[in-house]
Amino acid sequence: MILIVDDDASVRTSLALLLKQNGLESRSAANPAEALQLLERQPIELVIQDMNFSRKTTGEEGIELLQSVKQRKPDVPVILITAWGSIELAVRGVKAGAADFVTKPWSNQQLLQTVETALGLSRAPKPRETALTREELDSGFDFRSLIGRDPKFLKVLDLVSRVACTEASVLITGESGTGKELVAEAVHGNSRRRNGPFVKVNLGGISSTLFESEMFGHVRGAFTDARQDRKGRFELANGGTIFLDEIGDLDINSQVKMLRVLQDRTYETLGSSTPRTVDLRVISATNRSLVDMVEKGEFREDLLYRLNLITIHLAALRDRAHDIPLLATHFLSSIGNVYRRNLSVSERALKWLQSQTWPGNVRQLKHLIERTVLISGQDRLEPGDFEAALEMEPKESTKDSLPIASEATMDEIEKAMIVRTLEHHAGNISKAASALGMTRQAFYRRLEKYGIQS
C-alpha cells in the first residue's frame, strides 16, 4: 500500500487515481499528523509526500515529515514531490533518507517508473550474511562475461543480481580498465529490458557543441550541415538501457541538459520544439570521484543524486590478484580460438603476472597477453615471454615513468600511460587510442585535459 501526503486535495485524488489505474492501492493524508497515524495503522510500503503543507514554502515541513517517517519505519522508502526550482531542497531530502524525488509538473510515466523502482528496491533481497558462491550466482544469472571469484568481485555480482530486475539508475565507479562496461552490460542483460537496445555513449568523446545533436538528435536544417533528420542516443535507447560512460567528463552546461531528460524523461530534438518522451534505464560510469567534483563545483549535486540511486564500485585488479590466473586463462582461451592454437601458461608465469601492479587493470592484462602471444610464437607462455613483450615498450624514465599506484592519483597514472603509449606508437594517435581502448575523440579530450602535445 502506498501513502500519499499532500495538502492539495486535487493532487491526492490525481495520484490515487493514477496508482489505482496501474494496480496499486493507496491511502491519502492531508497533513503530517494524519500521515503518521496512517503509517502506524496501515501496512505502508511506500510514501509519496509533498514538501509543504501550509503557506510556508521553505520545505522544512517536508523534511521534518521525512525524518519522522524514517525514524518510525526506516525500511519504508519515501519519494518527495517538489518544484523544479526547488531541486536543492530535494537533494537535502535525499541526504536525509529519501529514496528519490519527482518534480512538478510530473510525467505520469516517469512517476510510475519512480514508484516501481522504489518498490522494487524495497522488495529486493537484502544483502546476505553468507555470500553466494560463484556457482550459485551463475545458476540464476547470466554472468558469462564477468570473470572472477575474489570475494570483492562476488559481492559486485551479488549486488548486480539484486538490482538488475529493478529500474534503478546505477552508477559504476572504479579505475580505468576494471570492466565497468561489462558490468553495465550484465545489469542490462539480467533485467526485464534485456531484449531492448543497449546503447553505449562515451561522453568523454562528445564535445559540448555536439552534445545536443548526439544525445537528442536533430531535424533537417537545424544547422548548416544537418542535411537529414538524425536520431539521438536517447531515442535509440528507447525501451532499453542507455550506458553513459565517462559521465565525469560532462561539462557543466551539458550536465543541466542531461539532468532535464533524466528527471522528466522528456527532451526536444535540436531544431524542433515538440517534446518527446523516452522510456529507458540509465546506467553511468566514471573513474573520477564525483563527490570531489561536486565539492569543487565541477559536477552538479542534483545530477549526482539522480544517477547514483545504486552505486557499484569495482576493485582494482591489484586488489583482486587471486583472479589474475582465471582472467589470464580466459584471455588465452579466447585468443587460442581466434588463432586456432592450444595456448597455456606456466605456474611461474601466472605468479609473475600476479606480482605486477597493473595500473591499467584488466584491460592492461588482456592487452599484454595478446601482445605476448603474437610476439613469442610459443603455445606455452613463460615469465620471459611476458617480460619480452613488456620490453618492447619504451624504457621508463624519471620524467615519464608510471607513478606508484598507492602514491598517485588516477589522473597522474592515466597521463603517464597516455604519454608512454604515444611514445611507443611514435605519436600515432589512432594506434595509441586503440591500444588504450579509447576512441580518437576521447583520446583527443585526454590530450587536451592533460596538456599533452601530440
E strand or H helix at 91: helix 87-95
- Could you give phi then psi for residue 154, rounded to 5 degrees? -65, -30
Among 121-130, 205-214, 260-269, 374-383, the range scoring the smallest mean pLDDT is 121-130
Return the DSSP state at 56: -
Q: Which residues pair with 10 in a beta bridge?
A: none
Q: Which CATH architecture has domain 317-450?
A: Orthogonal Bundle (1.10)
- pLDDT tens profile 82-129: 875 566 787 888 888 898 888 877 888 888 888 988 988 888 777 776
Residue 234: what pLDDT?
93
pTM of the entire predicted model: 0.78
- The top-scoring range by mean pLDDT among 98-102, 105-109, 152-156, 211-215 is 152-156
Q: Which residues pair with 311 in a beta bridge?
A: 171
What is the distance, to the nearest Å, from the Cα of residue 170 to the centroid of all Cα atoms in its chain? Answer: 5
- pLDDT tens profile 31-60: 999 999 999 998 999 999 998 887 776 788
Residue with more model confidence, 40 or 395:
40
| CA atoms of 341 and 109, how far apart (whole Å) | 53
Would you list the domain boundaries of the chain? Answer: 2-123, 134-313, 317-450
CB–CB of 308/269 below 8 Å? no
Q: What angle do CA 246, 248, 254 make, to 5 degrees?
A: 100
Q: Does domain 2-123 have CATH number 3.40.50.720?
A: no
Class of domain 134-313: alpha beta
Residue 338: what pLDDT?
87
| CA atoms of 81 and 85, how far apart (whole Å) | 12
| CA atoms of 162 and 173, how far apart (whole Å) | 18
Query: Closest by alpha carbon to 290, among 276, 303, 273, 271?
Result: 303
Equal fold, 2-123 vs 134-313:
yes
- Lookup result for grid cell 555480482: 157
